[in-house]
Amino acid sequence: QPEVGKVLNARFVNLQIDMEKGEGPAVSKQFGINSFPTMLILNPDGTKVGSIVGYYPTERLLDEIAKVPTR
């Protein structure tokens, strides 16, 4: 979904983590992630300010992203 990537890149610093490898299990535990896919939105100090859980069609995902505060 290239249009989703453009919106995310314009609004956020993005990081993809494999929740089954490396630091993934610790991150999953820290934020209580138990469903995939999950997008976490963190402020600069690492506090969770939002999340999007599950698969969404492109337009709905863009709507959900638009609801997330950027500050």
pLDDT in tens, 14-58: 999 999 999 999 999 999 999 999 999 998 899 998 899 999 999
pLDDT bracket for residue 1 (50, 70, 90): confident
Residue 71: its pLDDT value, please?
A: 65
Per-residue buried b or exposed e for 19-34, using 16+ beta carbons within 10 Å of the residue's own CB? beeeeeeeebeeeebe
Residue 20: its pLDDT value, please?
A: 93
Does residue 61 have a pLDDT over 70? yes
To the nearest whole percent, how much of the chain has pLDDT over 70? 97
CATH of 2-67, one of 3.10.310.10, 3.40.30.10, 2.60.40.1080, 3.40.50.300: 3.40.30.10
